[in-house]
Amino acid sequence: MSFQSTAPATPLNELQISLLRLFGHGMTDAQVLELKRVLVRHYSARLQQEATRASDERGYTPDDFDRLLHQAS
């Protein structure tokens, strides 16, 4: 019995290919951890920028966020 995927194949982008090549050369556990931290910092900064943009666009104030945090769920 053969297995066929129903999901369409998505080609890898340039960054994904570069990362695969990088990991293919062998890295120590410390180097892998360092790279993961770099990626987390990068995506965290991008997420913060997007959240700030959305908040500014909607005109949210610190009081709005305080109200949301203290609402009963």
Alpha-carbon distance 68 to 64, whole Å? 6
Output the CA–CA distances (angstroms, integers) from residue 70 to 55, 61, 73, in the order listed.
18, 15, 9
- Are 35 and 27 contacting, i.e. CB atoms less than 8 angstroms apart? yes
User: What's residue 2's pLDDT?
Assistant: 59
- Are 35 and 28 contacting, i.e. CB atoms less than 8 angstroms apart? no
Residue 70 has pLDDT above 80, yes or no: yes
Residue 8 has pLDDT above 70, yes or no: no
- The residue written with tokens 């994904």 in the block is 16
pLDDT tens digits along 10-68: 899 998 999 888 888 888 999 989 989 999 999 999 999 999 999 999 999 999 999 99
**This model's pTM is above 0.85:** no
